[in-house]
């Protein structure tokens, strides 16, 4: 039963962070960030927020910008989502999309041969 609650909270956090980044944040580095997933701990103390962006060369700069804006994002989340304790946000670059593109390129290369 608790897993359903955590999954629902993860989905709400992901959706609201996407809205906050798109509409509220003024930093141009993080305007085009896509939130790909959230993983909240069972005690709601931490939330890993996975993201990707269009320019993969700027991932370190975007990560720094997101970490600087995490306090603002967390306070906006607290206003929008009704839970007793808003978890601390930790942003992590999602490597799975780049990995998927790499695997797709290998498959295409094998099909050509």
C-alpha closest to that of 41 among 89, 84, 79:
89
**Pairing between strand 46-53 and 33-40?**
antiparallel
pTM of the model: 0.83
Q: What average pLDDT does the chain have?
A: 88
Share of the chain above pLDDT 70, in %: 98
The full length of the chain comes to 113
Structure tokens at 59: 């991932």
CA dihedral sign, ordered 27, 29, 34, 38 = negative
Give the C-alpha separation, 87 to 41, whole Å. Answer: 8
Q: Is 92 exposed, middle or buried (0-12, 13-18, 19+ CB in 10 A)?
A: middle
In tens, the pLDDT along 31-82 reads 788 999 999 999 989 999 999 988 777 888 989 989 988 999 999 999 999 8
């Amino acid at each position: 039963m608790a897993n359903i609650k955590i999954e629902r909270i993860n989905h709400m956090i992901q959706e609201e962070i996407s809205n906050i980044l798109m509409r509220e944040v003024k930093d141009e580095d993080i305007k085009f960030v896509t939130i790909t997933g959230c993983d909240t701990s069972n005690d709601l103390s931490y939330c890993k927020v996975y993201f990707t962006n269009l320019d993969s060369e700027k991932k370190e700069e975007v990560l720094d910008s997101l970490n600087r804006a995490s306090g603002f994002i967390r306070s906006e989340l607290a206003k929008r989502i009704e839970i007793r304790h808003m978890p601390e946000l930790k942003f992590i670059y999602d490597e799975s999309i780049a990995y998927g593109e790499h695997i797709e390129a290998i498959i295409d290369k094998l099909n050509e041969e």
